[in-house]
Structure 1
Amino acid sequence: MRLLELAKAFQAGKLQKWIYWRLVREKMKILTELQEVLVWNSAAERIEIRTDGIVFVHARGGGGADGIRCYMDFEETISRAEAEFSMRGDYEQEDFDFLRELLPENGVIFDIGGNVGIFSLNLAQESKELQIYAFEPLPTTYRKMQANFQLNPTLATKVKSYNIGFSKESGNAVFYLPGASEAASMHPNEDDYYSLESTPEGEYTGRIKMQEVHCKIDTVDNFCAVHHISSVHILKCDVEGAERDVLLGARQTLETSHPIVYAEMLRKHAKRFGYHPNEIIDYMRGLGYCCTTFRNHGLVELSEMTDETQEVNFFFLHQKHHADILKQHLTEN
């Protein structure tokens, strides 16, 4: 019996007080386990149980302030907030620390594949004046992004958000939203782990779900032209396999702005789109970029991705325009 059902049964006189208290105690013990995790995980400040949802508060703010706040979403297989609460250390933290060093004053950052806004909110915490653009094509996910922005109103003022996706052409596209409400893509991810449907309470229904959603898409080059954005300094791209198409639609921006590109590349996602990540590496090489990644706490160049490549996140740095960065950070592996 769920806790609310217990409370209603007791209120209706269907449970003796001592039975009710004992059953409630069993339900409430999980709170002590959560408190243990808060003590153990230095990145976690607290969890707030509110009438409008459950909020995770990071312990990353400066000057005693809270870090970013975000809703835990139990409809997802595992939400980002849930992961950051329960796992000590973030495998992407080294990437973010490096990116933080490269942020220019008044820099323009594109967060392509913004999901629920965590990456943009993390950037908005930086003391530098930044112009952050967050893009998320799925209407349901975009609404979750807006909800997280509302939890962080001061940070959200630094972010402009758009309910669109990017590809190699403008128009409309069908995205496939799996039952886990994450990892949506223009080519469906048929992994049962992502396709299992969950209830808002986090219970699996046992059903496989794949929803088709029609979304607006644009090219980076066209968006920059329409919005009079003359330069992009950092372009983050995490779009579940569509990275190649996004970068093809950003060719003019890459050739004129020479942004640092921080992209996810997974062979399994690229395969659904009919290409290998090496096509991205070759394309970017043709534009004067080299592909780098962190390995053994050092930045190394990756000339090609092989079956032995374990990294999934990569920095593309321009050989000429980012020469100082490469000279300072690139190491021999």
Structure 2
Amino acid sequence: MKQALKTLYSHLPLKRELFTVLRSVYSPPKSVYQHLHFRGPFTVPMGERKFLIHHYGTNVENILFWEGLSETSPAVGSDWEGVSLALWMKLCQKSRFVLDVGANTGVFSLIAKTMNPAAEVHAFEPVTRVYERLCANNKLNGFDIHCVEKALSNFDGQAEVYDTFDEHTYSVTVNKNLHDPWIKTRKVIIKTVRLDTYLEALGGNPKIDLIKLDVETHEPEVLEGMGPYLMHSRPPMLVEVLSDEIAARVEELVKDLGYLYFNISEVGKPRHQKHLSKSDHFNFLLCDQSRAAELGLET
């Protein structure tokens, strides 16, 4: 019966149009709007700015539809990355060369181009069906994001990921299966590239201004693959840190580069720490003292 009702709901017409009108006059709590989903493109308001994104029926897209984004309080009360997104929006304004590593459907890339249309944005997503959605969102907005169907790593070649059979996935890891043992997975071969290899092929010795790094414990390998570009650019980085082990490995790679570490709990202001650790939620912001001051972060 429950599945029959879900199927009936999925085929109801004009849900997007109805919910768009509802959104303009009423802000339902998450306990309500989590059931109010649809499929199709919609506008994500960002204060005076906006971008388009396809709704594929996922929780992230539902949060963006019902709560929107702002530099001060995006997605407040949601279980997604509201504070991280607010920091990202501010950082994008002065960033002309941006890397979205583990881009998924491209939310962070879309924000970067919306906040700074002149920015050169490179988005890396190795899972084919997810990459296709990234490309679709890029095309929907008429953006010129460089969408790359590869995983960044510390070697050029191929690797394995363990993908689920779900319509969409937010979590695969290079050469690791981090899924719970009862989840059915399949081994998929993907392409990998070092960032220094990728940038050298572009030419021009670009200076990286900003990185989002969300690759499910493969963050140290991505940083290793930056080669001289890490020291050369020393960009602010929004980095997922899921364990103390990953924290220690990341810190070892950046410890002499002038970075401060801010633990993002997604509730309240990010907290400065002397050393990296497992994040209170998912992410840390790594940046220097001057950028921390611009963001109003306390050290």
Segment drifting more, 113-122 vs 178-187? 178-187
Structure 2 counterpart of 1:300, which letter? Answer: R
* Match for residue 281 of structure 2 among 287, 311, 315: 311
Per-residue CA distance 1:45-93 (angstroms, 9 max, x = gap): xx997xxx53343233637xxx33322334xxx4421343466535533
Aligned to 1:200: none
Structure 2 counterpart of 1:310, which letter? Answer: D
Compute the displacement of 1:171 (Å): 0.8
1:257-272 matches, within 5 Å, as 257-267=233-243
Compute the displacement of 1:249 (Å): 0.9
CA pair 69-235 structure 1, distance change in 2 beyond 3 A:
same
2:207 maps to 1:226: no
Compute the displacement of 1:184 (Å): 1.7
* Match for residue 156 of structure 2 among 165, 170, 182: 170
Aligned to 1:278: 248
Aligned to 1:81: 61
Q: Is the 8 A contact 2:207 2:229 kept in 1?
A: yes
2:165 maps to 1:185: no
Q: Which structure has the greater CA radius of gyration? A: 1
Could you say what secondary structure the match of 1:142 adopts?
Answer: helix
CA pair 139-35 structure 1, distance change in 2 beyond 3 A:
closer
Compute the displacement of 1:33 (Å): 9.1
Measure the CA separation in 1 of the matches of 2:150 and 2:229. 18
Q: Is the 8 A contact 2:92 2:112 kept in 1?
A: no
CA pair 40-303 structure 1, distance change in 2 beyond 3 A:
same
**TM-score in terms of structure 1 length:** 0.69
Measure the CA separation in 2 of the matches of 1:251 and 1:37. 50
Aligned to 2:273: 302
2:57 maps to 1:68: no
* Match for residue 141 of structure 2 among 141, 152, 155: 152
Seq. identity, %:
18
1:1-333 matches, within 5 Å, as 34=19, 38=23, 39-40=26-27, 53-60=39-46, 62=48, 67-74=50-57, 78-85=58-65, 89=76, 91-103=80-92, 105=94, 107-127=96-116, 129-153=118-142, 156-157=143-144, 159-180=145-166, 181-182=168-169, 183-186=171-174, 187-191=176-180, 195=183, 208=184, 210-228=185-203, 229-267=205-243, 275-294=245-264, 297-305=268-276, 309-317=279-287, 322-328=288-294, 329-332=296-299
Compute the displacement of 1:233 (Å): 0.7
Q: Is the 8 A contact 2:210 2:237 kept in 1?
A: yes
Q: Is the 8 A contact 2:217 2:246 kept in 1?
A: no
Measure the CA separation in 2 of the matches of 1:28 and 1:138. 30
Compute the displacement of 1:302 (Å): 2.1
Segment drifting more, 252-261 vs 289-298? 289-298
Measure the CA separation in 1 of the matches of 2:226 and 2:199. 9
Q: Is the 8 A contact 1:111 1:119 kept in 2?
A: yes
Measure the CA separation in 1 of the matches of 2:277 and 2:90. 29
Per-residue CA distance 1:17-41 (angstroms, 9 max, x = gap): xxxxxxx99x869959957963216
Compute the displacement of 1:234 (Å): 0.6
Gaps of 5+ in 2: 68-74
Measure the CA separation in 2 of the matches of 1:287 and 1:86. 40
Measure the CA separation in 2 of the matches of 1:330 and 1:35. 36
Q: Which runs of 4+ in 1 moved over 6 A?
A: none
CA RMSD of aligned residues (A): 3.6
Q: Is the 8 A contact 1:113 1:136 kept in 2?
A: yes
Measure the CA separation in 2 of the matches of 1:282 and 1:310. 20
Compute the displacement of 1:116 (Å): 0.9
Measure the CA separation in 2 of the matches of 1:253 and 1:190. 32
Structure 2 counterpart of 1:72, which letter? Answer: H
Could you say what secondary structure the match of 1:102 adopts?
Answer: helix
Gaps of 5+ in 1: 6-23, 196-207
